[in-house]
Chains A and B, each alone.
Chain A
Amino acid sequence: MLITLDDVTKSYVLGKQRVTILKNVSLSIAEGDFVGIMGRSGSGKSTLVNLIGFLDRQFSGEYYFEEKLVDQYTDDELSKIRNEHVGFVFQNFGLIEAMTVTENVELPLLYAGIANQTKTQLVLESLRRVGLEGLEKQSVKLLSGGQRQRVAIARAIVNQPKFIIADEPTGALDSKTSLEIMKLFRDLNINHGVTIILVTHDVNLMTYCSREIKVSDGEVSL
């Protein structure tokens, strides 16, 4: 099993109140899965995938990544895993506004210490795959919402990750472009064995998924 959550509960303390966002979540995701996560706004989908992506370590319960308790990984080790094996597409894109498209996309490669030539090649290749060739030198500030989203996707696939966490990756895209992005994900999933965890509101996209996870009010039903 790639990912196993066992009785995971996530809660925030707001003032004197304790708000529980995820309640006793147990689920597992195998390598090669294409998981779709659905649920109403505010149900806790983003909270769940951030937790799965090792961005959030403050929860109760047990999370095993590759059969090892995530608690036992050091912060540096998790950084390395994120760097080499995980691709994130954030709901708010998570781009650095002051930098160009290329600079944003090559970030994971910088921290991986990839040689310059390979780096440029990989960046160009993933920009081509999301249909952004020609925008390499463009500043992110000047891009449209859909273009930004595709830059975020390009960055998520540039390090050839083992699994991709995509939080509403097509929210800002027209139906044709979002179809192409889904085809890209399916290609990565089928031909390269990349595990994909996709958060979406769009029921139509569920046809691409091999599994579905429903989140409602912090509770997960498979």
Chain B
Amino acid sequence: MKISEVITNAYQALRQNTRRSLLTMIGIIIGISSVITILSLGRGFEMYTVRNLTTSNDKQVSVDIMFNPTDLTQFANSKMSYFSDVDLNFVRQVEGVNKVEYVKQSDNLLSVELNVRNKKITKSLGFSNFGVDKIEFGRQFRSEENNGHQKVVLISKDTAKDINQDLTKVIGTGIDIKGELYQVVGIYMGGSEGLFDTTPDIKVSKKTYQYYENNRDRPMQIKVIVTKDFKPSNVSKNVIKKLNNIGSSRNFGKYETFDMGALTDGIGKVLKMLTYFISGIAGISLFIAGVGVMNMMYTSVSERTKEIGVRRSVGARRRDIRNQFLAEGLMLTVSSGIIGYILGYLIALIISIMLPFRVSPDFFTISLTIIVTLIIGLVFSITPANMASKKDLVEILR
């Protein structure tokens, strides 16, 4: 018998008793869809954190190594810096290191405290992408200001309102950012209305800001770009080992890697617990559903003994009969798996609208679904199918 015929045959047999088939499928659909929902969310979250861990725009993976001083006197008054060019050269020799560079604190989005009418307000600080900000009042940075390290800033409309309701009066006032006085030259649209709006409240020119910051700050961290196919955690371990052995500041503190994972660990842990919990429940529900499949197959076999006899008498071999019932069981479980997958993915998609990350179907969850449902189908219909194939012909032809 051809595969296509076995499949159409199984489909027709299941259609013969649509209600029973559907009821049997429900358990599997629920089990699979709940697992897929939680796995999709988990994977989406994982991908989201990985993306955040590797801040570089290109797809390179990088790890940050920092220094944790124990003897602060050594580093007071710029006597010594945490990392030196010699250290960087050492790090470069470590296998798996593609590139090393200093990380200045100023590379990250910072917050500044403004003193407005004797009140302290916290505002986020970012860098202006030269010329793209929509200016509502005042003007853009001029290129000579940028090149000449002129201390000028743009601020958001909301921030400006905090300083003075009359926006025209805000232009030209000074803002204290880390001890340097910057002059407000322009006010742009946007601000901190939305929860996930990342537009900073205050924008400075990166070049200018770094110019003033670097004169003061010592590099606290270095960024190690990991060569492709090397495991970031291994590379960072080796780098730290080397630095703790021969790094310039080794006697005054410890080199460590900043565990970005710790930040997201909270949600990660909850999600992991939830995954285990739901997988457990889904496992039980799948098992019960599997028993349901078995029950249905047994009923089906005993209802169709005459059909089995007829098929055997016109030439079906034992294995043809077994395959027929196996195909029915598998079609039942695998199609429930597919429905459950789509359902679970849709649920995850709906939930993810409220979360800062997106879910996407992936090879792992798809193959997991197929494999799990194939196994359930095989395990729970093999005995009824074998029973069907072993039926004694004379007995059933009566």
Give the interface of A toward B (CB within 8 A): 50, 53, 55-56, 58, 75-76, 79-80, 82-84, 88, 90, 94-96, 98-99, 107-108, 110-113, 155, 159
> In the complex, what residues of A have CB within 8 A of residue B309's CB?
94
The answer to whether A88 touches B314, judged by C-beta atoms less than 8 angstroms apart, is yes
For B369-398 the 0/1 string (1 means CB < 8 A from A) is 000000000000000000000000110010
Interface centre among A55, A56, A159 (most CB of B within 10 A): A55
Contact of A107 among B12, B311, B317 (CB under 8 A): B311
The answer to whether A108 touches B314, judged by C-beta atoms less than 8 angstroms apart, is yes
The answer to whether B317 touches A79, judged by C-beta atoms less than 8 angstroms apart, is yes
> In the complex, what residues of B have CB within 8 A of residue A107's CB?
310-311, 314
> In the complex, what residues of B have CB within 8 A of residue A111's CB?
1, 311, 314-317, 320
For B308-331 the 0/1 string (1 means CB < 8 A from A) is 011111111110100000000000
The answer to whether A76 touches B315, judged by C-beta atoms less than 8 angstroms apart, is no
* 5 residue pairs, one from A and one from B, having the closest CB atoms: A83-B315, A111-B315, A56-B394, A108-B314, A79-B317
Task: State in angstroms the CA–CA spacing of A158 and B96 once bound together.
Answer: 73
Interface residues of B in 1-49 (CB under 8 A from A): 1-2, 5, 12-13, 16
Task: State in angstroms the CA–CA spacing of A83 and B394 once bound together.
Answer: 17
The answer to whether A94 touches B313, judged by C-beta atoms less than 8 angstroms apart, is yes
Asked whether B217 is an interface residue with its Cβ less than 8 Å from the other chain, the reply is no
Asked whether B71 is an interface residue with its Cβ less than 8 Å from the other chain, the reply is no
The answer to whether A112 touches B397, judged by C-beta atoms less than 8 angstroms apart, is no
**Inter-chain pairs besides A111-B317, A159-B315, 16 sampled, C-beta below 8 Å:** A50-B394, A53-B313, A55-B397, A56-B394, A75-B317, A79-B315, A82-B313, A82-B314, A83-B315, A96-B307, A98-B307, A99-B12, A110-B5, A111-B314, A112-B315, A155-B314
Task: State in angstroms the CA–CA spacing of A85 and B306 once bound together.
Answer: 22
The answer to whether A75 touches B394, judged by C-beta atoms less than 8 angstroms apart, is no
The answer to whether A110 touches B317, judged by C-beta atoms less than 8 angstroms apart, is no
A-B contact count (CB 8 A): 68
**In chain B, what residue has the closest Cβ to A51?**
B394
**In chain B, what residue has the closest Cβ to A111?**
B315
- What's the least CB distance linking A19 to chain B, in Å? 14
The answer to whether A94 touches B320, judged by C-beta atoms less than 8 angstroms apart, is no
> In the complex, what residues of A have CB within 8 A of residue B13's CB?
98
The answer to whether B315 touches A80, judged by C-beta atoms less than 8 angstroms apart, is yes
Task: State in angstroms the CA–CA spacing of A113 and B393 once bound together.
Answer: 22
**In chain B, what residue has the closest Cβ to A82?**
B315
The answer to whether A113 touches B314, judged by C-beta atoms less than 8 angstroms apart, is no
- What's the least CB distance linking B18 to chain A, in Å? 12
Contact of B314 among A58, A75, A83 (CB under 8 A): A83
> In the complex, what residues of B have CB within 8 A of residue A99's CB?
12
The answer to whether A88 touches B313, judged by C-beta atoms less than 8 angstroms apart, is yes
> In the complex, what residues of B have CB within 8 A of residue A95's CB?
310
- What's the least CB distance linking B170 to chain A, in Å? 83
Task: State in angstroms the CA–CA spacing of A108 and B318 once bound together.
Answer: 15
The answer to whether B313 touches A55, judged by C-beta atoms less than 8 angstroms apart, is yes
24 sample A-B contacts, Cβ–Cβ < 8 Å, listed by A number? A55-B313, A55-B397, A56-B393, A58-B394, A75-B317, A79-B316, A79-B317, A80-B317, A82-B313, A94-B309, A94-B313, A96-B310, A98-B12, A98-B16, A98-B307, A107-B310, A107-B311, A107-B314, A108-B314, A110-B5, A111-B311, A111-B314, A111-B320, A155-B314
